[in-house]
Amino acid sequence: CQSLPINLLFQLLGLSIATLSTVTHYGLHFTLISNISLESNSYRVIHHAAFYFGICLSMTLILAALLSSAATVRESQCLTAMGFFCFALAFCGLIPAACWRYTHSTEVEDSMMDVYDLVYEEVRRNASSFRRHELTAIHEAFLCCGKHSPFGDTANVESKTCPSGQVRDAGQDCLQQIQDFLKKHMDFVFTLLGITIGFTV
């Protein structure tokens, strides 16, 4: 009976991971960048892989908790073994995920900023209406305005794509804003993974 609160905790952790995975996959900031990114950009692959991995991990944790609860109530060794096996699978998924966060910490950030750079420079060069619409959507989503470009000649781009009423000097540099947004999100992800690993151990 003492294990039932722990199993409930694992169900909540599983639901938290599923919720975070869904927000990451369907959230405005992430879907916007994913839809704009080119096939050659790694962001789209990472975006989809993170979602499916998170959902599988959350389902494994929830299943492990349910099996452990049933094993406690029925005092079944078979269900206990299945529960431990699911916890082992979850642990084997959590450790590589936490390691990936450190070894590839800048990959997601770089790929997102590459998408912004691509769209920004295309608008700056030829003022494509399609790309200008995409750039405006990024500015509105991240509440930013342009970037510091070594090529200069950015005022015209920003006057057409920044949210109305936002002054360029007061606007946030989009590359910095994307970086800050992603850092906060990844820190939250890593904290949740760390808590889950701790309780799994």
**Mean pLDDT taken over the chain:** 84
pLDDT at 156: 65
Whether the pLDDT of residue 52 is over 70: the answer is yes
% of the chain with per-residue pLDDT over 90: 27
Q: What is the dihedral of CA 63, 7, 26, 168, to 10 degrees?
A: -160
For residue 143, the SS3 value is coil
Whether the pLDDT of residue 111 is over 60: the answer is yes
pLDDT at 128: 64
Whether the pLDDT of residue 187 is over 60: the answer is yes
How remote is the C-alpha of 26 from its chain's centroid?
Answer: 10
What average pLDDT score do residues 153-166 get?
65
Task: Tell me the pLDDT band of 38, cut-offs 50, 70 and 90.
Answer: confident
**Burial class of residue 61 (count of CB atoms within 10 Å of its CB; 0-12, 13-18, 19+):** buried
pLDDT at 167: 47
Task: Specify whether the CB–CB gap between 62 and 11 falls below 8 A.
Answer: yes
Residue of 125 and 36 predicted with greater confidence: 36
What average pLDDT score do residues 89-94 get?
90
DSSP 27: S
Q: Which residue, 82, 63, 77, 46, is CA-closest to 11?
A: 63
What average pLDDT score do residues 135-151 get?
81
Task: Tell me the pLDDT band of 30, cut-offs 50, 70 and 90.
Answer: very high
Whether the pLDDT of residue 58 is over 70: the answer is yes
What average pLDDT score do residues 77-91 get?
88
